[in-house]
Amino acid sequence: MYISPSVLIRLLLVPILAVVAIQLLFVRAVSSVNMTNPYLHHKCFVTLGKYKPGSQYEKNLKRIINEFPKGSFKRGFISMTLGESPDFIVMLFQCRGDTHGPKCRSCYATAKPEFFKRCPRHKGGIIWYDQCSLYFSTIDSLGMIDYDNNFCMSNATKISDDLYNQVKPRHFIDDMIQNATREAKREAPYYMAEEKRVGKETIYGMAECSFDMSQKNCRKCLERNNFYFARCFWDKLGARVLGKSCSFRYEFYPFILPKAGPKYLKP
């Protein structure tokens, strides 16, 4: 049995046997600006099955969720693996690029019990909050783009024609993706927050990838989701597309705390 806080990207990966199912999830946004860290969505990985009380898997799980290496919250992400098949667990916890330290810790404290409430005894699953996501699985797929766990939440209100003509959200996002992943030598994780004045309005955006993505996969993941979910958000007044490997968001109001500052500097 071992615990490895893996900051390394492992390239040798267990083939995923899961059925390749394209999943299209359009979730209506219910989030409110005033809530600081709303719950967004969750998914229990039913195909991975459940564990029994008192099992080795449960012991491993308890250990992994309670043994966070020092500095994890400060850095804003952590990945740990523990045990051997069939009790092997991989856990990934990642805070949004501008969320670190106590805010990241507090997001974990919120997400952890909520995950176990929503996916009782499931061996795997993922829960998304505004400022962090928590993921468990029995399959180590670090470094690989996750195509199965992406979804879009958009503001029900449409953008005005006038505003749309000045800023097409898809193009704004694409611009941001290129900016976030342009420089050849930048190091993961990739995070970028941008704002752009359009007439009387300002569009605010953010794009980021999970820390295990290479620059190439980061761009591929973001570009794919910008294309794939276009119908969900192309003419909307705000939206977010979330996943395990990458996410982006735009609004016509600021949603990144300017004081917090980005954890990863812009290129």
Judged by the rule CB under 6 A, the positions of this chain that interact with ligand NAG are 29, 31, 33, 155, 157, 172, 175-176, 179, 194, 196, 237-238, 251-253
Q: By the 8 A CB rule, do 51 and 123 touch?
A: yes
Residue number of the CB closest to ligand NAG reads 194
Nearer to ligand NAG among residue 95 and residue 180 (C-beta): 180
Residues 77/82/85/89 CA torsion (nearest 10 deg) = -40
For CA atoms 116, 120, 125, 128, give the dihedral sign. negative
Give min distance, CB of 5 to ligand NAG, in A: 33
Report CA-CA distances (Å) from 27 to 156, 203, 264.
10, 22, 29
Q: Which amino acid is present at 248? A: F
CB-based burial, 13-29: b 16+ in 10 Å, e otherwise: eeeeeeeeeeeeeeeeb
- In the complex with ligand NAG, the residue whose CB is nearer, 61 or 222, is 222
6 versus 31: smaller Cβ distance to ligand NAG: 31
Instruction: Using the minimum distance from each CB to ligand NAG, give the nearer residue, 24 or 33.
Output: 33
Cβ of residue 163: shortest distance to ligand NAG, in angstroms?
Answer: 11
CB 138 within 8 A of CB 180: no
Closest distance of CB 246 from ligand NAG, Å? 16
- Nearest approach in angstroms of CB 137 to ligand NAG is 30
The residue (of 87 and 194) whose beta carbon lies closer to ligand NAG is 194
